[in-house]
Amino acid sequence: MAAVAGLVLRLVWLQGVQGETLTNRARAQQRVTVKPFAPRRSIVDRRGVALALDRVTYTLYAHPKLFNKPKSVVAALVASILQEPVTEVAQKLERGRSGIRLHESLTEDQAQRIRRTALDGLELHERPGRVYPQDEMAAEVVGYVNLFDGQGKTGLEYSMGRLLARSVSPVTLERAPGGYALPRLGSLENDRLNQLTYLDDLQLKLTLDLRLQRAARAAVQAQMTASRAKKGAAIVLDVQTGAIRALVCEPNYNPNRYSEADVARFRNWVVSDLYEPGSTFKPLVMAMGLDSRVLSLDDTFDDNGSVQVGDRIIRNFNFARLGKLNLSKVIQTSSNVATVRIGLRLDPGVFYQYLQRLGFNQASGVDLPFETPGQIKDRQTFLASKIDRATTSFGQGVAITPLQLVRAIAALANGGKLVTPHIVDSLSTVEGQPYWQPAHPEPMPVFSAATTREVLKMMETVVSQGTGKRAQIPGYRIAGKTGTSQKQDERGGYRRGAVIASFVSIFPVENPRYVVMTIFDEPPGGSGGVVAAPAAKPILESIITLDGLPPQ
C-alpha cells in the first residue's frame, strides 16, 4: 500500500506541480528558431550601374588523386577558364593530393565551363556570395565583404553595413518526427516565413559616376607609369553639394579576389593618410588675408628670394628671386616669401580661427570609414610661435588628408562655404526613387563670396600662365594651384628628395561645379606642375564630355 501511495503522490506531483514545466520543456525540444538568410542589398553608382551585389558563387577545389587526366592538362584547362597563368594553377596543384582550394568566387559561367570539362577530381562548392561586377574600378570606395563571416571589412561595405544588411525577423519552426524543421502552420512565424518570398528592392545608391571613375583611374595609372610614382590618387568633388563624383587610389585591388591582395592596398589613403599640402595651401592663406582685410587688391610684395623669421631663413623653391609681385603673381609664381609675409600680417588668433573653420583640426565627416582627423598646432603654441605661423602659411606644419584639402578648396569655388564630402546618395528603389537620404550639416560660411571670386581669378593665372599650364584645355577656363611638398621622416624632419606632387583645380571658372585633385607620392624628380597637372587634364576633359559643357 505504501508503494502505491508513493506512486500516486509522484503522479500528482508530476501532473499538478511540474506539469507546466515539463510541457514547456517538451515544446522547446520540438521547436527550433532560425533567422532566414536574406541577400545583402546591392550598391550602385549614380546612374544605377551595379558595383556590388549578392549572387550565388562557387569555390573550386581540386583533388589530384582523383584526376583522370595529367596535371598539366588539368592546369591548362582550368587556367583558361579562370583567366589565370597556367604556371600559377600548376603550382597550386602541387600542394597536396586532395582538398586544394584553387579559386574563390567563380561566376555561374565559369562554374558551367568547369562542369563541361568532365574532369574527375574537380569539385565546386556553391554558396551565396558578394560579387563586384566592376572588379577593381571602385574598390577603394565600395570595399569588400569577407567570404567567411559575411561582414564588410573596408569601404562602404564596412561603414554602411547596417544599411546594406536586410532586417529579417527570426522564425520558429516545428521539428518533424524525422528531425526536419517545418513551419508551424497558421502561426505568426509561418506568416513571417511566407513574407520572405518578398524582399525589398532597395539598393544603396552612390554619388559616384562610374564613367568619370574610369577616366580618373586611367589618368592616374598612366601618370604613375610615366612618373614612376609610388602611389597616385584623384578626387572629383561637386563644390555645391559635397558629392564625390570620383575617388581613385592606386595601386588598387580586385575585391572579388581580396584574399590575394597586399593588405596595404585596402587603405584608402586619400581619406586616412595625413600629409603637408605645401603650395596648394597658399590660395587659402590669400583668402584669409583678403577676407580679414589685412590685404587689399592693390598690395604688392618685394620678393628677393628669402625671408627671415626669428633665427630661420625661409626661401623660395629653387632659391628663385621673384621681384615685385602683385597678389595674382604671388599665387601664380607660388612665392613662399610673399605668402609668409601675408601669414604674418594676419592676427594670430584670426589665423587660427580660419584653420579651425576650414576643418583642419577635425575629420571632414565623409561617409567612408577610417578617416584620420587633420592636425594643426595647439592654439597656445600657434599663437606664441611666429615660425609656426610662417611655415603654416605655405603648407608646412599642418597635416591633413587630400580629401580634407579638396573640401577646403571647394569653399573657394562655391562662394565661401564649407560642405561635407559624401559618397552615399540614398537608399533607393531599383527605379531610382529615394526611400532614405542621409542628412548633412548645413554648409558653414568661411569666406565672403567677393573674396573667393578674387582668389579664383588669381588661381586661373596659374593654369593660363604659371605652373599649371599642362592642365590647359583650349576654350575652357580652369583655375588651379600646383604643390610640391616635402615628406617628413620619422624624426620630424624632411626626407631629402622625397616629395608629394599635387594639383588642385576648380572648373569651370565662370560657373564653378567641381574641384579636381590629382596627387602622386614620390615621383622621382617630379613636381606638381610636371606630374599632377597633366594627370588632371583627361579627367577635366571627361567632365566636359559627360556634362556637355560647350567651349567659351
Active site residues: 279
Residue count of the chain:
552
Q: Other C-beta atoms within 10 Å of 3: how many?
A: 7
CA 472, 486, 366: angle at the middle one, nearest 5? 70
In 13-105, alpha helices (H): 19-30, 71-82, 86-93
Angstrom distance (rounded) from CA 97 to CA 478: 63
Angstrom distance (rounded) from CA 131 to CA 296: 57
3-state secondary structure 296-312: CCCCEEEECCEEEECCE
Grid coordinates given for 542: 571627361
Strands (E), 29-110: 31-34, 43-44, 50-62, 100-106
Angstrom distance (rounded) from CA 216 to CA 123: 40
- Residue 191 vs residues 18, 173, 213, 273: alpha-carbon distances, Å: 33, 12, 44, 50
Strands 203-206, 43-44: pairing kind: parallel
Angstrom distance (rounded) from CA 200 to CA 50: 17
SS3 384: helix
Angstrom distance (rounded) from CA 287 to CA 343: 11
Angstrom distance (rounded) from CA 340 to CA 387: 9
Strands 494-507, 300-303: pairing kind: unpaired
For 21, what's the count of Cα atoms within 13 Å in the CB-facing half-sphere?
6
CA 443, 446, 450: angle at the middle one, nearest 5? 110
- Residue position matching grid coordinates 590669400: 286
The answer to whether the CB of 110 falls within 8 A of the CB of 80 is no
Grid coordinates given for 154: 573596408
150 Rama sector, left if φ>0, alpha if ψ -120 to 50, beta otherwise: left
In 334-448, alpha helices (H): 336-345, 348-357, 379-384, 386-393, 402-413
Instruction: Identify which of 291, 337, 293 has the alpha carbon closest to the alpha carbon of residue 446.
Output: 291
Grid coordinates given for 398: 599642418
The answer to whether the CB of 269 falls within 8 A of the CB of 275 is no
Grid coordinates given for 484: 610640391
Angstrom distance (rounded) from CA 387 to CA 489: 20
Q: Which residues pair with 237 in a beta bridge?
A: 244, 515
The answer to whether the CB of 439 falls within 8 A of the CB of 456 is no
Grid coordinates given for 160: 554602411
